[in-house]
Homo-oligomer: A and B are copies of this chain.
């Protein structure tokens, strides 16, 4: 019996463990200090009332013989798929309901989609990067190539014409850099994908944070349905991190290597997945209802205002940053030439504020730092005041 030796090639990811360790050590030594955490990527506000009601109703239906639900369809209930399709229509993008696969979250789909591709494809990720794209492909034995995000492109990597890739992960608005692609930038990626006979795996998990007039879906770009799969999630849109529901869109027109990609993904899901819990699908559909959309906007506005508060402070301090406008993340350049971890320690000790060192997301993250807007309003304001004080002083 041989194990999958590709796992040996994974770099242990100590980022959040190390953040937690240093934070806890500090708290143990300074029990009187109030530490504010702006490092978390998890939401904190509760589900919208209409979503909770739908989930409870779904649970009740499972308790009554006449309304009991057994195995769901692998691809999700039609009314949920239709709700996603209608949601896309609301911002002018045409996605057919039967191209929507409901899942237990974008992370599962991001990882599992690799099943349908050969191990000998080269995978392009932008650096800094959400580690799942890299690790899931290292597990599969694929070669990783990089497109650099840096100050020169506003931390929104563009296709490197000298590097060939078969599979391209894009995340826009980006985790961790908060940058979001414009229409013209996405056109360039679509052109690059077509030229290289590649497939774009587009992670739109943060699309609900987009405020400016930029695409909320790769399918806003003409021709994207011939080269892109889009993944999204209700985690950040509607606070579903603990509820678990996402969706992946595979256009029926997407063909590669003499195969219809939709058919292969369908077969993968039918074989290795058994659909999403009934009450969770009911909750997901409620998010897309008129009332649901109204209610989730309150939470989104709350986070967006936090992002604005943090961004304004950076503006005041004259610190370079990306994100904050179309994203819950503020990706900032550590002041005074400090390294990521150096700034982490500085901020923890002097301001008692926790963020995430950028180098945990890739080499281009060295010297950068991520703050998030998912915290409490009062804490965010207080953290920002403290940051202004200690950085102003230095």
A-side residues, CB < 8 A to B, are 1-5, 7, 10, 42-49, 51-52, 55-56, 59-60, 62-65, 68-72, 104-105, 107-108, 110-112, 115-121, 131-132, 135-136, 139, 166-167, 196-199, 239, 241-245, 256-257, 259, 261, 264, 267-268, 271-280, 283
Given contacts A115-B4, A120-B2, contact A277 B242 (CB under 8 A): yes
Q: Bound state CA distance, A107 and B270, in angstroms?
A: 10
Partner of A52, one of B60, B104, B121, B243: B60
**A46 with B71: CB separation less than 8 A:** no
- Output the nearest chain B residue to A48 by Cβ-Cβ distance: B63
Q: Which B residues are in CB contact (< 8 Å) with A239?
A: 62, 68
Show 26 residue pairs from A and B whose CB-CB distance is below 8 angstroms, ordered by the A residue: A1-B121, A1-B196, A2-B120, A3-B116, A3-B264, A44-B70, A46-B65, A46-B68, A47-B68, A55-B59, A55-B279, A68-B242, A69-B242, A104-B244, A107-B272, A107-B273, A107-B274, A108-B273, A111-B272, A115-B139, A132-B272, A139-B272, A243-B279, A244-B274, A244-B275, A280-B280
**B264 with A4: CB separation less than 8 A:** yes
**A257 with B3: CB separation less than 8 A:** yes
A84 to chain B, nearest CB (A): 18
**A1 with B167: CB separation less than 8 A:** yes
Partner of A116, one of B4, B49, B264: B4
Q: Bound state CA distance, A45 and B73, in angstroms?
A: 19
A170 to chain B, nearest CB (A): 16
A61 to chain B, nearest CB (A): 9
Oligomer copy total: 2
6 closest Cβ pairs, A-B complex: A111-B272, A52-B63, A2-B118, A69-B242, A42-B70, A55-B59
A250 to chain B, nearest CB (A): 13
Given contacts A242-B277, A277-B277, contact A112 B272 (CB under 8 A): yes
Given contacts A7-B116, A70-B241, contact A166 B2 (CB under 8 A): yes
- Output the nearest chain B residue to A197 by Cβ-Cβ distance: B1
A166 to chain B, nearest CB (A): 4
**A59 with B62: CB separation less than 8 A:** no
Given contacts A69-B242, A136-B272, A244-B276, contact A117 B43 (CB under 8 A): no
Q: Which B residues are in CB contact (< 8 Å) with A242?
A: 62, 68-72, 277-278
**Contacts beyond the supplied A10-B267, A52-B63: 8 A-B pairs with Cβ under 8 Å:** A3-B261, A47-B63, A51-B63, A55-B62, A104-B274, A108-B272, A132-B272, A243-B277
